[in-house]
Every structure is written in C-alpha cells, then in structure tokens.
Amino acid sequence: MQQVVLDNNIELYERFTNSDLNDLIKNGSVPCVSVYLPMEKAGKEVRQNSIRFKNGLEQARSMIEQMAGDLADETLGLKNAMDLYDETLFWNSQDEGLSLFLSPEIKRIYRLPLKFEESVLAADRFNVKPVLPLIAYDVDFFILALSQNQCRLYHCSRHQWRE
C-alpha cells in the first residue's frame, strides 16, 4: 500500500521495506522515538490498542523530557500522535502489530503483520531491530493460477498478495 498522510501529519504505512529501513537508519535528527505495540484485531480487546498507544506516548514523553527538555515534545509532534487516541476507525482496523517512529524529520506509523513485544525507546537513533524480520526474506513473487475457464495472476510478498 502507498503512504497515507493522516490529519495529524503522520505518514501511515502498511508495509515495511528496505527503503523504510534505510530512511530510519540515515535519520540524522535527534531525539528519535521508537514505539512498538502488539495490536488486537477483533473483539472487546480492540479498545486496548488505543490505551496501549496512549501509555506508550506518555512513556516516550517522559523519556524525551529527560533527554532534551520540553521543546522536544513540540519538535517531534507527540501531541499530533496523541490525537490518534480518539480515532476509533483507526484502532478498529489494525494488523498484528504497530510501530511508530518520531523524530524532527520523520513521523511514521506502520500497521504490520508482526506481533511485537511492547517497547518504547527515546534515543539518538531509532530502534529498528524488531522490524528486521519483516525484510529479512521479503521478496516479491508471482503466482499464476490456471483452470479450464479462468487465468489469474497474483503479485505476492511474504506478508500480502493481490490479484
């Protein structure tokens, strides 16, 4: 899926690629906030998604204040990210895991097919280790499905496919 820019100026992605990894590694602005959360896809537990997110951002805010003071909150856009807390539609359409990366230059959120352990880190670079399994063997391939009455071609990756 293409990038979508949400109302709060955070880019939303549903696939993590080598290009995304390179962007995060090459980021030169500090502080960098990395948030990884497991997500619930259905049932009453879905409400826990936004609560986990809010708690993670509050934890990140306290880490950033210790690192860079009060101005870092405005530079990173934590308040803009916190606006997602009330977006019910966003929280009802999640995948297995969610990752958020914030720095003065990068503001990205990923809905990903990998269940993460809950973690929050504010540092001088992004924590990218939890997303590495998503690109380790991620290659595109095609499947041709033939029958007497129909011919279909599927474009696939490790985690998704489309006709």
Write phi, then psi, for 97 (nearest 5 degrees).
-145, 160
Question: Higher-confidence residue: 43 or 106?
Answer: 106
Burial of 84 (0-12, 13-18, 19+ CB in 10 A): buried
pLDDT at site 141: 86
pLDDT at site 127: 96
Per-residue pLDDT for 1 more than 50?
no
- Residue-wise pLDDT for 55-85, tens only, equals 999 999 888 888 766 666 666 778 888 888 8
Per-residue pLDDT for 13 more than 70?
yes
Q: Sorting pLDDT into bands at 50, 70 and 90, what band is 3?
A: low
pTM of the full structure: 0.81
What average pLDDT score do residues 12-29 get? 91
pLDDT at site 6: 64
Maximum distance among all alpha carbons in the chain? 67
Cα torsion through 78, 129, 22, 6, rounded to 10: -30
3-state secondary structure labels for all residues of 60-78: HHHHHHHHHCCHHHHHHCH
- Residue-wise pLDDT for 96-152, tens only, equals 999 999 999 999 999 999 999 999 999 999 999 999 988 877 678 899 999 999 999
Tokens of 86: 């009330």
Cα end-to-end distance, the chain, whole Å: 14
Beta-bridge partners for 4: 12
